[in-house]
Structure 1
Amino acid sequence: MSTHGRPKRLTTAAIRSMKGGERVVCLTAYTTPVARLLDPHCDLLLVGDSLGMVLYGMETTVGVTLDMMMAHGKAVMRCVSHACVIVDLPFGTYQESKEQALRNAVRVLQETGCDGIKLEGGEEMAETIAFLTARGVPVFGHVGLMPQLVNTAGGFRSLGHSETEAAKIRRDASAVADAGAFAVVVEGTVEPLAREITAALAIPTIGIGASPACDGQVLVSDDMLGLFNDFQPRFVKRFADLSPLISQAVESYATEVRGGLFPGQEHTFQVKRPAKT
């Protein structure tokens, strides 16, 4: 128990210790009310730069800024009492140098109170990951399909179909683990390769469009809750279909407002009359 009598939240060390044991449950969270609902059920909450597409209508994550990530990181941290919380470093905030990565990572940790940061990249980011972890910054790695590199990767597609691609992803995953990351996301990678990488690494693999053999799974919460009807990636299972429910609720609200049915007297404040003596 903590000094305030509340259970301690899961740490990055606790997530790492789940390798080969109970599966790590991870979802994205961007806001206080949603994080409050997810927290009791998740081991890890990721404040992902996917918020650029999910909340801001961007076509990719490239336009997300550090200030945006920190604002949403703070929102999530205001209500979490159980899950380990990781915040993405967005595109352009860590690739220039390991010193740049440290400055921005420290800022995120200090201003949000989160447990660690996530960055994309394999062999080319190993030196940076080692530099950060040696200085007290927990790092969540990300290999395979890397959304921040969509402009050079030829779009969003599954990877590992050729031996050249597969060998690169193997090297990337190994480099991230050897550099000191506590876990690694394996995204958009053919199933046999993701299974092989999971067996080879000493740290947990968190799959998204990868393999059921991964040590955990992550999805974008809005995808698995069915808040988008225009596109559903192959790797997404909709555990709810909230979009039509929200649409129906708003339609009912609009009908009642236009018809003068809402608000009713029970939704208004009446003048309180003094009690008779």
Structure 2
Amino acid sequence: MSSQTPPGETSTSSQRVKPKTLTTLQNAKRDQTPIAMITAYDAGFARLAMEAEIDILLVGDSLGMVVQGQRDTLSVTMHDMIYHTKMVRRGAPSGLVMADLPFLSDTDTPTVLRNAGRLIQEGGADIVKIEATAAKADLVQAMTDAGIAVCAHVGLLPQKVRQLGGYRVRGRDIDDASAVMRDAEVLTHAGAAMVLVECVPSTLGARIAKSIDVPVIGIGAGVDVDGQVLVMNDLLGMNPHPARFVRDFLRGRGAILQALQAYASAVRSRSFPAEHEGFV
């Protein structure tokens, strides 16, 4: 039995979509057009995401939890990330693909350059995402100087979940909000082409998006950022205990493609996230 669209190829509808680039995203921020981003871990879902005209595919280390069944992301390896990035690239040959640097893959400059380079050369990623505070500005600078497009992940950092004792909203007090804001500003100054901010009050998400020039993608950061990202499995209702910022877009619809299209539409109309799907 064969599928309608051969592996490694996109459907006719997805081929008509103009490929996204960092310039596309920068223009979207300038024009106040929200950016829709989701995670993807294999070729099939990557193809569907392209048909739904999703702007960015994130091969997240969240695969440790949603694909491998681990309790957190810390067991994900570079081998895992390259393997899944390759599959996503095959499913979305012209898509804009971002890949995570997994736990302990960014301990120093030679290590981060080697691993980020592998995500691009072996995996086919366009952008590399690093969980970072201002203390990692030198790593972001080194990657940028090497020609690597970097997305800095600030706010809640899942790779520190065991150190923090759980998943906690960041930036609820003045000092912590200032720290998250400084992280975003310092990492952007170091060369980050994008920022992803996770689990912060909606007001802080809006402040970060207004204070820096690069696109700011939020997850649990309110509606007033430059775009949204959700884990694919979460938006399809596959998580029995979803986070507050998750919405099941498959409910009431007959197909996964319709759910992805509904998600993209809700992001672009700013009807997602609603007030109750954010933090104060």
**2:47 maps to which of 15, 18, 36:** 36
Distance verdict in 2 for CA 1:23–1:82, change over 3 Å = farther
Question: Which whole-Å CA distance do the structure 2 matches of 1:156 and 1:88 have between them?
Answer: 18
Contact 1:207–1:217 under 8 Å retained in 2: yes
1:198-255 Cα offsets, whole Å, 9 max, x none, are 11010111000002010000000100111122x011000111149xx99xxxxxxxxx
Once the two structures are TM-superposed, the CA of residue 100 in structure 1 deviates from its matched residue by 0.8
Name the structure 1 match of 2:64: 52
In percent, how many aligned pairs have the same letter?
Answer: 39
Name the structure 2 match of 1:11: 21
Contact 1:32–1:75 under 8 Å retained in 2: yes
**1:62 maps to which of 63, 74, 84:** 74
Gaps of 5+ in 1: 247-277
Determine whether 1:73 maps to 2:85: yes
Contact 1:98–1:131 under 8 Å retained in 2: yes
Question: Which whole-Å CA distance do the structure 1 matches of 2:17 and 2:173 have between them?
Answer: 47
1:137-191 Cα offsets, whole Å, 9 max, x none, are 1101100001011112231021111111111101101011111111111100011
Determine whether 1:132 maps to 2:143: yes
Map residues 1-277 of structure 1 onto 2, 5 A cutoff.
Answer: 9-21=19-31, 22-40=33-51, 41-94=53-106, 96-229=107-240, 231-241=241-251
Helix, strand or coil at the partner of 1:18: helix
Contact 1:227–1:241 under 8 Å retained in 2: no
1:6-52 Cα offsets, whole Å, 9 max, x none, are 87632233323322321111000001111110113211000000000
Question: Where do 4+ consecutive residues of structure 1 move more than 3 Å?
Answer: 5-8
Contact 1:44–1:84 under 8 Å retained in 2: yes
Once the two structures are TM-superposed, the CA of residue 83 in structure 1 deviates from its matched residue by 2.8
Structure with the greater alpha carbon radius of gyration? 1
Distance verdict in 2 for CA 1:190–1:7, change over 3 Å = closer
Question: Which whole-Å CA distance do the structure 1 matches of 2:26 and 2:191 have between them?
Answer: 11
Match of 1:92, as an amino acid? Answer: L
Once the two structures are TM-superposed, the CA of residue 115 in structure 1 deviates from its matched residue by 0.5
TM-score computed with the length of structure 1 as normaliser: 0.82
Contact 1:53–1:61 under 8 Å retained in 2: yes
Question: Which whole-Å CA distance do the structure 1 matches of 2:36 and 2:121 have between them?
Answer: 25
- Greater RCO (Cα-Cα under 8 Å, separation 6 or more): 2
Helix, strand or coil at the partner of 2:210: helix
Helix, strand or coil at the partner of 1:70: helix
Contact 1:39–1:81 under 8 Å retained in 2: no
Helix, strand or coil at the partner of 1:19: helix
Contact 2:169–2:201 under 8 Å retained in 1: yes
Match of 1:104, as an amino acid? Answer: N
Count of aligned residue pairs for this structure pair: 238
Distance verdict in 2 for CA 1:8–1:135, change over 3 Å = farther
Question: Which whole-Å CA distance do the structure 2 matches of 1:8 and 1:156 have between them?
Answer: 37
Helix, strand or coil at the partner of 2:250: coil
TM-score computed with the length of structure 2 as normaliser: 0.81
Question: Which whole-Å CA distance do the structure 2 matches of 1:196 and 1:111 have between them?
Answer: 37
Contact 1:9–1:81 under 8 Å retained in 2: no
- Report which stretch shifted further, 21-30 or 8-17: 8-17
Name the structure 2 match of 1:255: none
Question: Which whole-Å CA distance do the structure 2 matches of 1:216 and 1:81 have between them?
Answer: 22
Helix, strand or coil at the partner of 1:118: strand
Contact 1:20–1:215 under 8 Å retained in 2: no
